[in-house]
Structure 1
Amino acid sequence: MGGVSAGGEAARRRLPQLRHQCGEEAAEGEGHRPAGAEIGDRGSGSSPHRSEVERWLQRLKDAYDGAEDALDLLNYNRLKRKAARRKERAVVRGQVIIRIAEEDWSDDKTKAMMWGYRHLPAHLQRCFSYCSLYPRGHTFEALQLVQLWMAQGFIKPDDQKKRMEDVGINYLNELVSRFYIQRHNRVSYSSGAYKFVSYYTLHELLYDLAEKVSRNYCVRIEGDRQSEIPSTIRHLCIPANKLNENKEEICKLKKLRTLIVTRGEGIKSKADGVANIPNSLKQFSLKKLRVLVLELNLENLAEFISEMKLLRILQVSSTREFMLPESVCTLYQLQVLRIKSASSLPKRLNNLVSLRYLEANSDIISAIPDIRKLTSLQGLENFPVRKEKGYELEQLQNLNELRGCLRIANLENVESKESAIAANLKEKKHLDTLQLAWRDGEDNVNSNLDVEILEGLQLPPYLTSLMLDGYRGQSCPSWPEYQTRNIQELALRRCGMLEELPPMDQLYPYCRSLELRHITILKAVHTLPPRLQNIAIFRAPFLTFVTNEDLQLSQDDKRSIGEVMRNRTQE
């Protein structure tokens, strides 16, 4: 930046005096806050009047007029350096700001925030304003919100090696830290444990701001409210029964990037105008569309889907089953496909090499042949192994972007240890939960091949949860300690031939939860994990726990104890 102007120098000299007069010294260490955050500083004792705030803002604007470098002394970048040390206090103050704005700014609640919005980085402005496309009070999941930003090209990583979703989460966290988006937590019960799950909303005050700043390129039509659709609109949310009403205006939208068609009020049958929706969509200019969300079960989807070559997200939410057309397989830039009501998928779906997320019934996902081609896929909840070509365990070899939970079923169809090694699980560094299942778990057939298969399936390096279901070996596999030491949850179910467990204090030092279910001939557990907190045992009639004192018993004592245990089981 060049030299500071005379006005800037004057403003810089006057800054301490302004700080004192406006009470800024009390807030010197605050982190990122929306413009007008100083209201909260002064309002902690008594609520400020609107006129006083307006005079204060006007004095700042006059002082810094024409001096960008002087303005930088007061904007968010200056305050960011000390945010970490006083984050908790900033959160409280942010809540006070919103409450005061609601009480005292009855004329224009968003005026105080508008000034701060103008100083947001451009990429955060786009991400924040896009949220106005959804209804007031809508709850967002972090990943789904980031996926929308990705589809629109809002996320620009500085480092090309960084994952787009990770950069998007950083954007979201920054908007939360600046109080533009609110984070909430709720308790959810999953996999036998209670966990905190986060979701995100926009406060009504900030939703008003998002609507105002996005009105030239983002429109949401609700109920009977009539809204103009300017030709500059890029993102549109509209009820199905309003499509024909606004057909002429929508046909003029040559740069439409997002189209969300909601069910709308009063839509119950095709007689309400739903039958003509495919024809309406076909008339629109959809070649540049990035996001298409349909909350209706539309027939003849193939008639207009094939021209959307730039589509990144396709979501069809319907209560009735439908068939996904073959034309979807030509959308080579598609990243997210949500079709939970689809009854079948096209055979050539593996052509979608950019697909990152596929949300559908697990049974129809397992019917996709040669799934190995989807190397960008990041979620695959269930993979049943078959003996048919295109469904072998080796299909997992190059799916190294998989994350979260993976269940590999029907392992009785794996024919050799080499096939298990070829699955290359050790390279799937983002998996944290693995479930390995055999269908014939109750047959009580000793299978040495099961042991070899488990040893060939080298565990992912950062695995925290492991389940074996229907395993038919007599002993556990000899996994090296570095593959099991991070496991915190271990479950063994229907392992009908398992007689003994290895020393668990060495293999599973960080295990907190242990489940033993239907282990009918397991006789002894010699050591338990040192950090164990929860243990659940079902149908393990011969199981005994061996302590250090037990190891010192004489042979006569051991025989006596064994006799007592046998009598108990016979009773």
Structure 2
Amino acid sequence: MILVTTRFPKIVEMVTKESNPIDLRGLDPDEFWKFFQICAFGRIQDEHGDQELIDIAKQIADKLKCSPLAAKTVGQLLIKKPFQEHWMKILDNKEWLEEYHDNDIIPALKISYDYLPFHLKKWFSCFSLFPDDYKFGKLEIIRFWDSIGIIDYPKQNKKFEDIGSDYLDELLDNGFLIKGDDNNYVMHDLLHDLSRKVSLEECAYISCSTFEANEIPQSIRYLSIFMHDDIHVKSFEEEMGKFKERIDIKNLQSLMIFGEYSRLHLVNVLRDTFKEIKGLRVLSIFTNSHSSLPNNFSKLIHLRYLKLMSPVYAEVCLPSTVSRFYHLKFLDLNQWKSSYSLPKDISRLENLRHFVATKQFHSNVPEVGKMKFLQELKYFYVKNASIGFELGELGKLEVLGGELKISGPENVRTSQEAEEAKLMEKRNLVKLGLVWNRNQECTGDDILFLEKTGDDILDSLKPHSNIRRLCIVNHGGSVGPSWLCSNIVYMRNLETLHLESVSWANLPSIGQMYHLRKLKLKKHSWDISDWT
């Protein structure tokens, strides 16, 4: 059995030849009234409630078409100011007259939007640039806001991630967003329609198979295109030609191309359309060859946010010109599935804050310490034989946070060199992994040297006490680090501890780790009964 749901009559006509459609209405009026009371008053009212407000609420409820979505958004508008004058203004709003059919709740949503603070209106409008049913990652949308310059930084020293998170919470509280189980955000399709309506003069989202250039306002500055191969290329080429004549391409601030496409003709149409772009702050594009990129890609020196995607089958390397984008703050290669090689001078991106990518990319950044504002580096491989992969590079990353795995500590020769990583100063780190490589061939003298120095080196890799998850694998020394085994009070926030292939004479006193929730021991030589 196939179940199809839609709010578009044309879709119903297409799929109902052999079946009888069910027209889903709003809630039962009595049940809706109870629900709306909870949204507007915080609870169901009784005879002791404010009768004047209750009467106004009933009249507003009659305009909401028994829609839970309308009840939630308008209810938030009412509950914040439970005053008769405010509620009457909403009841008498002329926007109610703009409904196009009996079940139209867009006027109710538009009234809720009109009462948003100016800053929330700006941020809400940006959602119009994403496809329907798109799952928004918190940092993804915050990075976009920051890149186009609509995050207002307060005088106090507050990170843009925290400011953006506050924005999302406000939109969530006002009923304009829904938070999913996976911590992503989604927007109801009617609210998505509203975002496109209110941002019409600045933002445009077009589908390659259905758009008409003449419907796009000339004033747009932010553009998104949904692409796929299954279209009439000639028609698309004609419309894009009209679009190029109609819009001042040089003034575009963002260009995001969603979907995958491989037809060379489509690639050439897009390259021709956007060959004059030069002021972009945001570029997101799918590419299976360098020809998929804009002609003057190397000249997009104002970019703040760059997202590049590629398929597994494409034999294409990251463009070497990426390292020229000095102002770049966010580089997203999480969906880049081709070659993992990076330009040798990638560390020239000194203003980079977030490098969203797999560990293959993170472990391949020479002289990463030059990226002094970098906040995430999931993987670092110590390679003393290669310039730019010494532990001292980590010491220069003062705001590094999240998770970090250091592989190859056996290549560190002195405790002083280990201290140069300055792990104890990285208060934003939450997860730390230290993994020694035992597969390399060593002489007897090398093994003896590693055993003697391994204890001191691990002791010098002391992390900040904020660490929540710690993993140590293949440490060849005979003694555990003092910061873990001798001074448990220091690791007071530890929640997960993973020890693998270690043979220490001393043991961590896990009984004093009051926040510990998970302990994993693998290939150890201890008698568990000795553990206290």
TM-score (norm 1): 0.70
Q: Which residue of 2 aligns with 1:487?
A: 494
Deviation at 1:78, TM superposition (A): 8.7
Query: Offset at 1:468?
Result: 0.3
The offset of 1:499, in angstroms, is 4.5
For 2:207 and 2:169, locate their aligned partners in 1 and report how far apart those are by CA, in whole Å: 30
C-alpha distance in 2, partners of 1:134/1:289? Answer: 17
* Residue type of the alignment partner of 1:220: Y
Q: Say if 1:477 and 1:525 are closer, same or farther in 2 by CA, change over 3 A.
A: farther
Contact 1:49 1:104 in 2 (8 A): no
Residue in 1 that maps onto 2:388: 390
Q: Is the 8 A contact 2:430 2:467 kept in 1?
A: yes
Paired position in structure 1 for 2:518: 513
Match of 1:475 among 479, 501, 505: 479
Instruction: Determine the C-alpha separation between the residues in 2 that align with 1:135 and 1:52.
Output: 27
The one-letter code of the counterpart of 1:281 is F
**Preserved contact between residue 282 and residue 303 of structure 2 (Cα < 8 Å):** yes
Supply the distance in 2 between the matched residues of 1:461 and 1:501 (Cα, whole angstroms): 18
1:224 matches 2:237:
no
Give 2:346's aligned residue: 349
Q: Which residue of 423, 427, 430 corresponds with 2:428?
A: 430
Aligned pairs (5 A) from 1:537-548: none
> Structure 1 52/415 Cα, relative in aligned 2: closer, same or farther at 3 Å?
closer
CA–CA separation in structure 2 for the residues paired with 1:243 and 1:373: 44
State the Cα distance separating 1:298 from its structure 2 match. Answer: 3.8
Give the structure 2 partner of residue 238 of structure 1.
225
SS of match in other structure, 1:245: helix
1:455–1:477 contact (8 Å) kept in structure 2: yes
SS of the counterpart of 1:176?
helix
Q: Distance in 1 between matches of 2:60 and 2:198?
A: 27
Q: CA deviation at 1:204?
A: 1.8
Query: Could you tell me how far apart the structure 1 residues matched to 2:295 and 2:262 are?
Result: 23
The amino acid across from 2:435 in the alignment is: A
Deviation at 1:28, TM superposition (A): 7.2
Q: Does 1:202 align with 2:156?
A: no
Alignment match, 1:363? 360
Partner amino acid, structure 2, of 1:515: K
Q: Which residue of 2 aligns with 1:64?
A: none
Whether 1:296 and 2:287 are equivalent positions in the alignment is yes
The separation in 2 between residues aligned to 1:52 and 1:183, in whole angstroms, is 24
* C-alpha distance in 2 between matches for 1:294 and 1:25: 46
The 5 Å alignment of 1:86-485 reads 106=102, 108-185=104-181, 197-227=182-212, 228-240=215-227, 242=236, 245-250=239-244, 252-253=247-248, 254-263=250-259, 267-270=261-264, 272-275=265-268, 277-282=270-275, 284=276, 286-300=277-291, 301=293, 303-319=295-311, 320-339=314-333, 340-343=336-339, 344-387=341-384, 388-440=386-438, 445=447, 447-479=451-483, 480-485=487-492
User: Deviation of residue 111 (structure 1)?
Assistant: 0.4
1:223–1:324: structure 2 CA closer, same or farther, 3 Å change rule?
closer
Where 2:274 maps in the other structure, the secondary structure is: helix
Output the CA distance in 2 between the equivalents of 1:221 and 1:342. Answer: 28
- Kept after mapping to 2: 8 A contact 1:140/1:199: yes
Cα distance per residue 1:172-226 (max 9 Å; x no partner) = 01100000111121xxxxxxxxxxx311111122112111101111111125222
- Report the 3-state secondary structure (helix = DSSP H, G, I; strand = E; otherwise coil) of the residue aligned with 1:198: coil
- How far has the Cα of 1:155 moved from its partner? 1.1
Q: What is the letter of the counterpart of residue 138 of structure 2?
A: A
Quick check: 1:502 aligned with 2:508?
yes
> What TM-score comes out, normalization by structure 2 length?
0.75
What's the offset of the Cα at 1:261? 1.9
Contact 1:337 1:358 in 2 (8 A): yes
| Deviation, structure 1 residue 46 | 11
Counterpart in the other structure of 1:545: none
State the Cα distance separating 1:160 from its structure 2 match: 4.2
State how far apart, in whole Å, the 1-side matches of 2:206 and 2:347 are: 36
**CA 404–518 in structure 1, closer or farther in 2 if over 3 Å, else same:** same
Deviation of 1:147 after TM superposition, in Å, equals 0.9
Equivalent residue number for residue 50 of structure 1: 63
Aligned-residue identity in percent: 29
What is the one-letter code of the residue matched to 1:269? Answer: R
d(CA) in 2 for partners of 1:515, 1:75:
49
Distance 1:297 1:473 in 2: 47
Q: Deviations over 1:73-121 (max 9, x none)?
A: x997995489xxxxxxxxxxxxxxxxxxxx9974532101212211211
**Is the Cα contact below 8 Å between 1:294 and 1:317 reproduced in 2?**
yes
Which amino acid is 1:505 matched to? Answer: G
Q: Tell me the CA shift for residue 243 of structure 1.
A: 6.3
Distance between the aligned counterparts of 1:221 and 1:205, measured in 2? 17
Cα deviation code 1:111-152 (max 9, x no counterpart): 012122112112111111110111111111111111111111
**Deviation of the 1:244 alpha carbon:** 6.5
Contact 2:329 2:354 in 1 (8 A): yes
User: Aligned-pair distance for 1:515?
Assistant: 0.5
Letter in 1 for 2:177: I
Aligned AA for 2:282? V
Asked whether the equivalents of residues 480 and 505 of structure 2 are also in contact (C-alpha less than 8 Å), the reply is no
Change (3 A) 1:509 1:276: same
Distance 2:238 2:200 in 1: 22
Instruction: Verify the 8 A CA contact 1:434 1:465 in the aligned structure 2.
Output: yes
Q: Is the 8 A contact 1:247 1:280 kept in 2?
A: yes
Q: CA–CA distance in 2 between the matches of 1:459 and 1:51?
A: 56
Q: Judge conservation of contact 1:313–1:335 (CA < 8 Å) in 2.
A: yes
Q: Tell me, yes or no, if the aligned pair for 1:459 and 1:483 is still in contact at 8 Å.
A: no
Seen in structure 2, the aligned counterparts of structure 1 residues 476 and 350 have a Cα distance that, compared at 3 Å, is same
Please give the alpha-carbon distance, in whole angstroms, between the structure 1 residues aligned to 2:294 and 2:193. 38
The DSSP-based 3-state class of the residue aligned with 1:278 is helix
Across the two proteins, how many residue pairs are aligned to each other?
Answer: 440
**Larger Rg, first or second structure (1 or 2):** 1
Distance in 2 (CA, whole Å) between partners of 1:512 and 1:450 is 28
Give the C-alpha shift of residue 334 in structure 1. 0.8
SS at the partner of 1:455?
Answer: helix
